[in-house]
């Protein structure tokens, strides 16, 4: 039996010192919450704790799409909510992307303004016609929500060498980035501002009493702060009771290099559930969770069924070479719910929560972080 390891005097004065703010989760939401708290008060003592050695969820495991919605996805949203709610979602996503690019320089996260394209396989002609007929409508919706004009337009499929001859619908205001380099930049910036990081700290319990919050971890470590921000997205229900947050897995695969690759940009299919993009001369493809019950899970990993579906999609629906193979594979865990609106709220006098990014963490994460910072000492 291993005895409990007590912190040293030096550690109590540094790593485990009482803080003014503890943030649980070092993904995009937690990091930007710390960023905006420091903008308000540079003297704040802030510690960010993370259960893994790096952010283990979705922030460094996503596909790196800087997007705010294809027309088929927006049509689906419009069928389930009011037009005002759709406009609100678009506004939050688009303004969140602008905010992210203000915080993190484009070159630091390898942002490329390549545009977003909705791709329609040949058998989806009816869906294409429905979306094509709504281009003017959604151009008006986006302009009303964001001020951006002429967002959507048709472009020929021949431009990319795709199998389908149906035109693509282009969103000129989208792009792609390197999510891990985005996180590294934010972490380095916060470290330079005096923010502390504790990795490998798995939260077991949160106890609020009087003028403090105690965070108890599985290794018998206890941290104390005046305020706590929970930014653990899909894993929040492991720590507190939170409603309408469901964990789902998105599997991602990256091919070998393809000579003469024409598919440059970010591409959406099937209401955004399937997506692909170039990474240099390779194709990254992911998603398809709507076809498989196995993807409602908190467990990382890959399944042969999803892998086969996406490989077949590349070869038979997109028309890339048959000798293509996957050289890299991983998965991320997203948080979704009945509503696509994130949960951002104070849940007690000393605790605030920002979760349920709905697969749009790149677009809305920094916006959620800012709102959490505004709420924390309000």
Q: What is the pLDDT of residue 3?
A: 54
Which CATH number do you get for residue 238? 3.50.50.60
Residue 11 domain-assigned (yes or no): no
Q: What is the pLDDT of residue 1?
A: 41
**30 shares its domain with 151:** no
**151 shares its domain with 292:** yes
**220 shares its domain with 252:** no
Q: What is the pLDDT of residue 33?
A: 98
Residue 1 domain-assigned (yes or no): no
Q: Which domain holds residue 365?
A: 17-61+180-243+341-376
Residue 185 domain-assigned (yes or no): yes
**37 shares its domain with 159:** no
Per the rule left: phi > 0, alpha: psi between -120 and 50, beta: everything else, 343 is beta
Residue 155 domain-assigned (yes or no): yes
Q: What is the pLDDT of residue 207?
A: 95
Residue 303 domain-assigned (yes or no): yes
Where do we find the tokens 């104390």? Answer: 224
**28 shares its domain with 156:** no
Residue 249 domain-assigned (yes or no): yes
Structure tokens at 301: 């990993």
Print pLDDT tens along the chain (378 aa). Answer: 445 677 889 988 888 899 999 999 999 999 999 999 999 999 999 999 999 888 888 899 999 999 999 999 999 999 999 999 999 999 999 999 999 999 999 999 999 999 999 999 999 999 999 999 999 999 999 999 999 999 999 999 888 989 999 999 999 999 999 999 999 999 999 999 999 999 999 999 999 998 999 999 987 889 999 999 999 999 988 888 888 999 999 999 999 999 989 999 999 999 999 999 999 999 999 999 999 999 999 999 999 999 999 999 999 989 888 788 999 999 999 999 998 999 999 999 999 999 999 999 999 999 999 999 999 988
Q: How would you classify the pairing of strands 212-217 and 222-230?
A: antiparallel
**267 shares its domain with 323:** yes
Count of structural domains, the chain? 2
Residue 2 domain-assigned (yes or no): no
**118 shares its domain with 145:** yes
**72 shares its domain with 129:** yes
Residue 105 domain-assigned (yes or no): yes
**172 shares its domain with 141:** yes
3-class DSSP state of 185: helix
> CB–CB of 264/159 below 8 Å?
no
What's the helix, strand, coil split of the chain in %, to 5? 35, 25, 35
**89 shares its domain with 143:** yes
**225 shares its domain with 113:** no
d(CA 47, CA 168): 46
Any idea of the CA torsion for 142, 178, 62, 127, to the nearest 10 degrees? 40
Where do we find the tokens 């979602």? Answer: 89
Which CATH number do you get for residue 135? 3.30.9.10
**371 shares its domain with 263:** no
> CB–CB of 79/278 below 8 Å?
no
Element (H, E) at 133: none
CB atoms within 10 A of CB 100: 24
């Amino acid at each position: 039996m291993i005895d409990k390891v007590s912190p040293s005097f030096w550690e109590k004065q540094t790593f485990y010192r009482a803080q003014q703010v503890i943030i649980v989760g070092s993904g995009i939401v937690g990091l930007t919450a710390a960023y905006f708290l420091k903008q308000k008060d540079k003297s704040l003592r802030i510690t960010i704790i993370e259960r893994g050695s790096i952010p283990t969820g979705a922030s460094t495991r996503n596909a790196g799409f800087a997007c705010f919605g294809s027309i088929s996805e927006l049509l689906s949203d419009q069928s389930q909510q009011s037009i005002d709610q759709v406009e609100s979602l678009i506004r939050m996503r688009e303004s969140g992307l602008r905010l992210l690019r203000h915080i993190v320089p484009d070159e630091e996260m390898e942002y490329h303004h390549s545009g977003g394209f909705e791709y329609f396989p040949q058998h989806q002609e009816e869906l294409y016609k429905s979306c094509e007929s709504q281009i003017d409508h959604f151009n008006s919706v986006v302009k009303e929500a964001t001020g951006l004009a002429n967002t959507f337009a048709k472009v020929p499929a021949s431009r990319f060498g795709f199998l389908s001859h149906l035109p693509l619908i282009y969103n000129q205001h989208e792009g792609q980035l390197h999510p891990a380099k985005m996180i590294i930049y934010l972490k380095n910036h916060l470290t330079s501002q005096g923010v502390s990081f504790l990795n490998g700290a798995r939260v077991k319990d949160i106890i609020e009493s009087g003028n403090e919050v105690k965070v108890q971890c599985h290794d018998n470590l206890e941290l104390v702060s005046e305020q706590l921000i929970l930014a653990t997205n899909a894993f929040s229900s492991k720590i507190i009771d939170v409603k309408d947050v469901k964990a789902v897995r998105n599997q991602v695969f990256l091919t070998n290099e393809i000579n003469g690759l024409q598919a440059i940009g970010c591409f959406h299919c099937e209401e955004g559930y399937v997506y692909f993009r170039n990474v240099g001369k390779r194709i990254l493809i992911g998603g398809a969770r709507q076809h498989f019950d196995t993807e409602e899970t908190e467990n990382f990993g890959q399944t042969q069924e999803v892998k086969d579906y996406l490989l077949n999609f590349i070869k038979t629906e997109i028309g890339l070479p048959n000798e293509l193979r996957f050289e890299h594979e991983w998965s991320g865990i997203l948080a979704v719910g009945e509503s696509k609106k994130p949960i951002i709220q104070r849940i007690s006098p000393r605790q605030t929560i920002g979760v349920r990014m709905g697969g749009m963490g790149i677009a809305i994460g920094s916006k959620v972080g800012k709102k959490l910072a505004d709420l924390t000492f309000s």
